[in-house]
Chains A and B, each alone.
Chain A
Amino acid sequence: AQSVSQHNHHVILSEAASLELGCNYSYGGTVNLFWYVQYPGQHLQLLLKYFSGDPLVKGIKGFEAEFIKSKFSFNLRKPSVQWSDTAEYFCAVYFGSSYKLIFGSGTRLLVRP
């Protein structure tokens, strides 16, 4: 079965630290890739997406992600986090072979001031 894995369930960083959150998916066919953010008490919002082209994708609020097809990965990065980045981050993958959109289990990020 197709799946999406986010191995880091909880991450704690200090402000200005660099961030990398992992996302791996199980299948090697055509995929569309997404990262969403959920701030405390709010709904999910799109951070960035990858459909094709340059595998390094830039999103909002200084976030970027890199698609590495050979590793089935789409890791989220930010060079310097801020306290306001405290949130839960979800990776999502659309699998073209099955027309299914699957979310990872999420990573809770706490940024200490």
Chain B
Amino acid sequence: EAQVTQNPRYLITVTGKKLTVTCSQNMNHEYMSWYRQDPGLGLRQIYYSMNVEVTDKGDVPEGYKVSRKEKRNFPLILESPSPNQTSLYFCASSYRVNQPQHFGDGTRLSIL
């Protein structure tokens, strides 16, 4: 089954404790991206990747890192999480950036 898998789905953690949210797709998509969704602000792009080893900042990259060492994986890293990063995060992928996006089920992060 074609899917985008995010883990964990829910996480409560404390300020400053490094965490990684994994994202994996099984559709051989070149384009992957991370979004955060906050009430009233819609979807804001954090980082995106056009292909392996090619990543770039989105609209709200501060406090986040990503890597794309393999085509299928695109982890989101919070080196030193802060409460303002409490949000719902979505990973998405597509064959190309101009194609329909396939979204993961989301990861709800709470940073205390």
A residues in contact (CB < 8 Å) with B = 6, 9, 32, 34, 36, 42-46, 49, 90, 92, 94, 96, 99-106
8 Å CB contact of A43 from B33, B97, B104: B104
* Cross-chain pairs A/B with CB under 8 angstroms, 8 sampled: A44-B90, A90-B43, A101-B45, A101-B101, A103-B35, A103-B42, A103-B44, A106-B42
| Chain B residues within an 8 Å CB radius of A103 | 35, 42-45
The A-contacting residues of B in range 34-74, CB under 8 angstroms, are: 35, 40-45, 50
| Chain B residues within an 8 Å CB radius of A100 | 97
Q: Across the interface, do B90 and A9 meet the contact criterion of CB distance under 8 Å?
A: no
Closest to A6 in B: B42
Total contacting residues, chain B, CB less than 8 A: 19
Is there a chain A Cβ closer than 8 Å to B98's Cβ?
A: yes
| Chain B residues within an 8 Å CB radius of A105 | 40-42
Q: How far is the CA of A94 from the CA of B50 in the complex (A)?
A: 14
Q: How far is the CA of A32 from the CA of B101 in the complex (A)?
A: 12
Q: Across the interface, do A90 and B42 meet the contact criterion of CB distance under 8 Å?
A: yes
B residues in contact (CB < 8 Å) with A = 33, 35, 40-45, 50, 90, 92, 97-98, 100-101, 103-106
Question: When A43-B90, A43-B103, A43-B106 are in contact, do A101 and B43 touch as well, CB less than 8 Å?
Answer: no
Beyond contacts A92-B101, A94-B98: 18 other A-B pairs, Cβ-Cβ < 8 A, are A43-B103, A43-B104, A43-B105, A43-B106, A44-B43, A44-B103, A45-B103, A46-B100, A90-B43, A94-B97, A99-B50, A99-B98, A101-B45, A101-B97, A101-B98, A104-B42, A105-B40, A105-B42
Q: Across the interface, do B105 and A96 meet the contact criterion of CB distance under 8 Å?
A: no
